[in-house]
Amino acid sequence: MTDALLQVKNVEKTYGKGANAFQALKNISFDMAPGEFVGIMGPSGSGKSTLLNVLATIDSPTKGEIHIEQDEIASLNEDKLADFRRHHLGFIFQDYNLLDSLTVRENILLPLAVAKRPVAEMKQRVDSITAAFGINTLLDKYPYQISGGQKQRTAACRALISDPKLVFADEPTGALDSASATDLLERLSKLNETQASTIMMVTHDAFAASFCRRILFIKDGRLSQEIFRRNLTRKQFFQQILDTLSSMGGAADDII
């Protein structure tokens, strides 16, 4: 795939040394095209969160190459990595990571404020993204004044406000009730479809994964299978995900 946004080549991650060494990732290779919505699934301890952390520059691989467009991020020093992260990557975490002392508007604006974008541009972007996520009436509230679902939509707006090349979502629905989770996933999916936002999501939940267009399954640190939604309905894809999880040696509720 020559037009890949993300290229992962023979990535490995080992923790510890000698007899205590543990290889969390083993020879992982795949590409991701611009505009894809990719899910990462696997049993607890399979390496899916390690993979996300390595790709998101939160951790570094022991071996292998990670290219985001022309940048080989595995070889960047810490200063260049921080700069790359700030300009090109967005993050949505399970526990929101909002600053309680800032309003919803200020939390969302943070990446643009750090980048010293013009005030008019910041206002326009905040108005646009918060309307898309249905929180434009909450901008002057503080995180403690809004629900968990509203907090996660705020976190999603913050991740997307600077139009990053790639958004990483780590169990974004893990702390949400089913209605809030569905709402968030539908909004992310719509943004992916209408604005070609490129999203990678780690999830243990087959329902959440069914909103993706492709799923990579990790088992024992290796890429074991991948499936594509293509022309399937979301309900049909959900069933295919459940069948794949079952074939990997565990029922869906084992995959945590």
Query: For 209-231, how does the pLDDT look when each residue is reduced to its tens digit (9 = 90+)?
Result: 999 999 999 999 999 999 999 99
How much is the average pLDDT of 163-185? Answer: 92
Task: Flag whether 86 is in a domain.
Answer: yes
Which 3-state string (H, E, C) describes 197-218? Answer: CCEEEECCCHHHHCCCCEEEEE
pLDDT at 1 over 50: no
Task: Flag whether 1 is in a domain.
Answer: no
Which CATH number is 37's domain given? Answer: 3.40.50.300
pLDDT for res 254: 43
Task: Flag whether 193 is in a domain.
Answer: yes
Tally the domains of the chain.
1
Pairing of the two strands 37-41 and 199-202: parallel
How much is the average pLDDT of 193-202? Answer: 92
Domain with 153, as residue range(s), is 6-254
Task: Flag whether 90 is in a domain.
Answer: yes
- Between the alpha carbon of residue 197 and those of residues 54, 107, 187, 240, the distances in Å are 20, 20, 12, 24
- Give residue 45's identity as a one-letter amino acid code: G
pLDDT for res 103: 96
pLDDT at 251 over 70: no
pLDDT at 6 over 90: yes
Task: Flag whether 176 is in a domain.
Answer: yes
Question: DSSP letters along 7-43, please?
Answer: EEEEEEEEES-GGG-EEEEEEEEEEE-TT-EEEEE-S
pLDDT at 30 over 70: yes
Task: Flag whether 235 is in a domain.
Answer: yes
Where would I find the beta strands (DSSP E) of 46-88?
63-68, 71-72
Task: Flag whether 20 is in a domain.
Answer: yes
pTM of the prediction?
Answer: 0.89
pLDDT for res 2: 53
Better-scored residue on pLDDT, 234 or 252: 234
DSSP assignment letter at 146: S
Pairing of the two strands 37-41 and 63-68: unpaired
pLDDT for res 122: 86
From the CA atom positions of the chain, what is the Rg in Å? Answer: 18
Q: In this structure, are residues 66 and 8 in contact, taking their beta carbons and an 8 Å threshold?
A: yes
pLDDT in tens, 68-126: 988 898 888 888 888 888 888 999 988 888 999 999 999 999 988 888 888 888 889 99
CA nearest neighbour of 223 among 63, 9, 15: 9
pLDDT for res 252: 46
Question: Residue 254: how many CB atoms within 10 A of its CB?
Answer: 13
CA angle 233, 239, 244 (to 5 degrees): 125
Q: How would residue 250 be classed by pLDDT, with cut points 50, 70 and 90?
A: low
How large is the greatest C-alpha to C-alpha distance in the chain, in angstroms?
A: 57
